Homo-oligomer: A and B are copies of this chain.
Amino acid sequence: MTQPESVNAAPARDAAALPDVSHLVVGVLGGTGDQGRGLAFRLAKAGQQVIIGSRTAERAQAAADELGLGVRGADNATAARESDIVIVAVPWEGHAATLAELRTELAGKIVVDCVNPLGFDKQGAYALRVEEGSAAQQAAALLPDSRVTAAFHHLSAVLLQDASVDRIDIDVLVLGEDREATGIVQALADRIPGMRGIFAGRLRNAHQVEALVANLISVNRRYKAHAGLRITDV
């Protein structure tokens, strides 16, 4: 918040302290969907090497060709194996099955879950109850050999994919148990102009971050917006 320095003399978020991630290869599982394609576009545009993963290599390649920017396409297993950081942007319906199949390929990788388990009815969106607590916790349970984080939940797929939008001024809440991994994911978010990666807790607090998308959908409906979040005073 805007406030006198006396209230907060401590150093705020120090972007320079985050690691250099420019050399890391980013895979996007479900990269042919709106959210995945939008993230792949933004990260590739920022100079990151990106591999789009899909169930079939052909569909992934077609999406990659459309994006250009050096983006490659591959089946999900190949994309996972050849990436350092793997963003999971599959539909919630396919979340558990996709991850269970890729346990070996994802071992040792930083996994970034951005899936929002939502239901929809006449009154709009609502959070689904997830047995493990959240999509991110489900991922952590299915991928015990991976470094599972959660991030990139609140991005508008419309804005991500709109090439006429140069900056997306929002904050990306990054959650996880592994401080090095969350730092890398924060740094990845920071690569996209306008975005900041903000550490926002452990995976046990991922549910509400995922579910908040239902509220952003209500905001979007009421205000005809593409709403996102900024964290104040950081």
So how many copies of this chain end up in the complex? 2
Q: Is the CB of B2 within 8 A of A169?
A: yes
Across the interface, A1 reaches (CB within 8 A) one of B175, B194, B233, namely B194
Q: Is the CB of B223 within 8 A of A234?
A: yes
**Interface size, A (range):** 35 or more
Residues of B within 8 A of A3 (CB): 159, 165, 167-168, 226
Q: Does A170 contact B (CB under 8 A)?
A: yes
Q: Is the CB of B164 within 8 A of A8?
A: no
Q: Does A16 contact B (CB under 8 A)?
A: no
Q: Does A227 contact B (CB under 8 A)?
A: yes
Q: Does A97 contact B (CB under 8 A)?
A: no
Residues of B within 8 A of A211 (CB): 205, 207-208
Q: Is the CB of A6 within 8 A of B232?
A: no
- Minimum Cβ distance to chain B for residue A229 (Å): 6
Residues of B within 8 A of A227 (CB): 231-234
Q: Is the CB of A202 within 8 A of B124?
A: yes
Q: Is the CB of B229 within 8 A of A231?
A: yes
A231–B230 CA distance with the chains assembled, in angstroms: 6
Question: 4 closest A-B pairs (Cβ-Cβ)?
Answer: A10-B224, A201-B218, A208-B211, A208-B208
5 pairs of residues in contact across A and B, judged by CB atoms under 8 Å: A7-B158, A10-B225, A123-B204, A227-B232, A230-B231
